[in-house]
Homo-oligomer: A and B are copies of this chain.
Amino acid sequence: MLYKIELTDFFTSAFSVDCMIFGYEEGQLKVLLIERGVEPFNHYWAIPGDLVYPNEDLPDAASRILLELTGLADVPMHQSKSFGAPNRHPQGRVITISYFALIRISDFEIKASSWAEKAMWVAVNDVPQLAFDHNLILESTYEILKQKLNADPICFDLLPEKFTLMELQQLYEYAFNTTLDKANFRKKLKSIPLIQLNESQQNVKHRPAKLFKYDASAYSSEKHDSFQFNL
Q: Which of A166-193 contact B (CB under 8 A)?
A: 172, 176, 178, 180, 188-189, 191-192
Interface of A is mostly: loop
A111 at the A/B interface (Cβ < 8 Å)? no
Q: Are A86 and B56 in contact (CB under 8 A)?
A: yes
User: How many copies of this chain does one complex carry?
Assistant: 2
A108 at the A/B interface (Cβ < 8 Å)? no
Q: Are B55 and A84 in contact (CB under 8 A)?
A: no
CA distance A5 to B147 in the complex (A): 39
Q: Known A1-B53, A79-B81, A84-B58; judge A227-B15 contact (CB<8 A).
A: no
A155 to chain B, nearest CB (A): 8
Chain B residue at minimal CB-CB distance from A180: B229
Chain B residue at minimal CB-CB distance from A185: B229
- A191 contacts across to B, CB distance below 8 A: 231
A126 at the A/B interface (Cβ < 8 Å)? no
- A104 contacts across to B, CB distance below 8 A: none
Q: Mark A21-55, 1 if CB is under 8 A from B, else 0.
A: 00000000000000000000000000000011111
CA distance A178 to B191 in the complex (A): 23
A168 to chain B, nearest CB (A): 10
A151 at the A/B interface (Cβ < 8 Å)? yes
Chain B residue at minimal CB-CB distance from A97: B82
Q: Of B57, B155, B172, B227, which one neighbours A176 at CB under 8 angstroms?
A: B227
Name the residue among A9, A10, A191 with the largest chain B CB count within 10 angstroms.
A10
Chain B residue at minimal CB-CB distance from A143: B226
Q: Known A82-B79, A84-B57, A188-B229; judge A95-B92 contact (CB<8 A).
A: no
Q: What 13 additional pairs, Cβ within 8 angstroms, besides A10-B54, A146-B226?
A: A10-B52, A10-B53, A11-B12, A11-B13, A11-B93, A13-B15, A13-B54, A15-B84, A55-B86, A55-B93, A95-B95, A150-B231, A176-B229
Q: Which A residues form the contact surface with B (CB < 8 A)?
A: 1, 5, 7, 9-15, 51-58, 79, 81-82, 84-86, 91-93, 95, 97, 146-147, 150-153, 155, 172, 176, 178, 180, 188-189, 191-192, 226-231
